[in-house]
Structure 1
Amino acid sequence: MTTLPALDLHAHVDTAVSPRDLLNLRAVVFAASRSLAESHMALRRQPGDLLTVWGVGVHPGMKESLENYDPEGFGGLIERTAYVGEIGLDAKIASRLRKQHEVLESVLTQLQGSPRLTSIHSYGATTEIVDHLERNPITGAILHWWLGGRAATSRAIDLGAYFSINAATIRRSEALDLVPIDRILPETDHPDGNRGGARPHQPGNVTDVETALATMHGLDVVDFRLQTWRNLASLVAVTETRRLLPPRVAAIIEAVN
C-alpha cells in the first residue's frame, strides 16, 4: 500500500480538540493520557474519533496522577481501549520514586492478564524499567523515547519490547542501531519530543523520523512506513486488541497483513 497514513505511537492531545481537527492530521495517532481523570475524558470521545486511539495512563512524573491511581479504576478503563499510555518511571523527582515503583508494579500486574499496547516512560530509569519488565513480563511493551544504554537495550529486546522513536531519540540514542527494524514504531511525543523536529509541530508529523530511520535501514520512506504498520499489526495480534481499536484503524491493520 502506498497511501498508508502516518503512525504516531505517542502524542499528547488535548481532549477538547475537535474530531475534525484530529482527522485533518491525516495520521493515526495514539494519544497518551497523564492521569486516570484525563483517561476518563479521553475515552468518552473514543467512539467518535476515526483515526485517534485514546489511552489510559498514570504519568510517573505527576504527583496528583500517582496519588489518584486506583487499581480498580485503571482495570475498568483498560477494558475500553487497546492502548495504555503513559506509564513508567521518572527519576527527576527522587522523593516520588517509591510511589512510582508501586504504581508501575500494580499496572504491570494487571496488564499481564489484559495485554494492551503499552507506552512506557523511562526518563533516568531505563535499567529499572527493564528490571520491572523482567519481574512482571507483559505482552505489548513499547519503550517510549528510549535512551537506554546498550546493555539495557539488549535486555529489553530479549524481553520482546518494541521501541517508539521520536526526533529527539534519534539525536540522543547510543543504542538505536541495536533495535531490529521489526520492533520500531514512530512517535512525536507532541508537544515535547518534536520541538526540534519537522514542521508543523503537530501530532502525526513523523516525516523526519521516518526519513532518518528509513535511511538507517536502507529503505525508501514508503517501504519503511509499511514496515511500521506491519510492526503495529504484529503487536495488535499478540495482544489480541483489534476489537478495541477504532474500526478504520483496524481495517488498515487488516489490509497490511
Structure 2
Amino acid sequence: MSQQLPASPEPLPAPTTDAHTHAGSVVEYSGLTEADALAAAAAVNVTRLVEVGTDVASSRAAVALAEAYPQVVASVAIHPNDAARAGADLPAQLAELESLLGTSDRIRGVGETGLDYFRTTDAEGRGRQREAFAAHIAWAKAHDLALVIHDRDAHADVLDVLTAEGSPQRVQLHCFSGDADFARACLDRGYYLSFPGTITFKANEALREALDLTPDDRLLVETDAPYLTPLPHRGKPNSSYLLPHTVRFIAERRGADLTELCRTLADNASALFGEWGEDG
C-alpha cells in the first residue's frame, strides 16, 4: 500500500457496501491498485462496492472491473462536467455510452449524471448537461437500472429535470450535499440519499441535519474515492477501506447499533442495485 495512504481503521462488525467509488481513479491518485483496494476494503468488512464511470473510457473500465470481481457492480455515465466540455461531440459520446447498456449484467446503474453548476457556469455548457441528464434518465428507465445523480449547486434544477423527464423507479442522490429541506423533497419522491466522508466535517451541520431525517430504508454511505476522505484523514487519498470512519460516525450520530447499521446499508444497496452475486 502506498505510503501516502492512511492506515486501515478497525474492521466493521458486519459486512457493508461502499455505494459509490472510483477505484480506477484511486490507482491514478495514490498508486493503490484496484486489486489491493478491494483486498483492503474486504479486510475491514467493506465487502461490496459500486464502481462508477464518468466518461466512456472509465465506464468501460468499471464494467471490466465488475466482470472481474464479484464484489463489484458498475454504473456507467458521462459526468455532467464532461458533458459540458464535450461540445459538438456530445451526441457521439452519448451514443457510444448507450451501446454499453445491455452488454453485461454487471451494469446496475446509469450515472453519475445530473447537473454541476459549480464547475460549469456558462449557459451552453449547462444546456449540454441537461441534454445528457435527460438521456441518462431515459436509459435508466428503459433498462430498469438505478439512476445515480451528481448534484452540485443545482438542487432545484435537478428536481425540475427529474419532474420533466419522469424519475426511474430507483434513484440515488450520490454525495448528498443539500440541507434538510432538499432532503425532504428527495425523500418525498422515494429517492435514496448517499452520504460521503464530508458528513464528518465540522462545518457541515446542515448536511448532518439532512442525515438526521433520512429514514433507515433510504440511507446509503459512500466514499466517492479518491476524494472526500473522512475525518480523521481529511485531505489524504481516499479508498473504500476508509468507509468505516464514515459508517461509525453516522452510527454514533443516529444512536444506531453499528452492526445493524452495516446490515441496513448493505440491504439498501441491494434494493437499489440488485444482488451482487454468489460471492459478493
2:136 to 107, 116, 121: 107
Give the conservation status (yes or no) of the 8 Å contact 2:227–2:238. Answer: no
Give the conservation status (yes or no) of the 8 Å contact 2:117–2:153. Answer: yes
1:82: how far off? 0.9
Aligned amino acid, residue 51 of structure 2: A
Give the conservation status (yes or no) of the 8 Å contact 2:21–2:222. Answer: yes
Greater Cα offset, 88-97 or 42-51:
42-51
Does residue 87 (structure 1) correspond to residue 103 (structure 2)? The answer is no
Give the conservation status (yes or no) of the 8 Å contact 2:41–2:241. Answer: yes
CA deviations 1:22-54 (Å, max 9, x no partner) are 234212121111101221233234321131223
For residues 185 and 50 of structure 1, the distance between their equivalents in structure 2, rounded to whole angstroms, comes to: 20
In structure 1, the residue matched to 2:3 is: none
In structure 2, the residue matched to 1:153 is: 183
What is the total number of aligned residue pairs between the two structures? 242
In structure 2, the residue matched to 1:22 is: 38
Greater Cα offset, 121-130 or 165-174:
165-174
Cα distance change, pair 21–155 in 1 and its aligned pair in 2 (3 A): closer
- TM-score, with length taken from structure 1: 0.83
CA deviations 1:157-197 (Å, max 9, x no partner) are 11110011112035421422221121111101112211645
Give the conservation status (yes or no) of the 8 Å contact 1:214–1:224. Answer: yes
Cα distance change, pair 115–203 in 1 and its aligned pair in 2 (3 A): same
CA deviations 1:130-154 (Å, max 9, x no partner) are 2222222112211011122333221
For residues 72 and 11 of structure 1, the distance between their equivalents in structure 2, rounded to whole angstroms, comes to: 24
Secondary structure, counterpart of 2:80 in structure 1: coil
In structure 2, the residue matched to 1:78 is: 101
Give the conservation status (yes or no) of the 8 Å contact 2:77–2:112. Answer: yes
Q: Which has the higher contact order (CA 8 A, sep 6+)?
A: 2
Give the conservation status (yes or no) of the 8 Å contact 2:148–2:171. Answer: yes
In structure 1, the residue matched to 2:15 is: 5
In structure 1, the residue matched to 2:51 is: 31
Q: Report percent identity of matched pairs.
A: 21
For residues 201 and 20 of structure 1, the distance between their equivalents in structure 2, rounded to whole angstroms, comes to: 13
RMSD over aligned Cα, in angstroms?
A: 2.5
In structure 2, the residue matched to 1:54 is: 74
Give the conservation status (yes or no) of the 8 Å contact 1:6–1:225. Answer: yes
- TM-score, with length taken from structure 2: 0.77
CA deviations 1:75-103 (Å, max 9, x no partner) are 33232211333111100221211110111
Does residue 188 (structure 1) correspond to residue 223 (structure 2)? The answer is yes
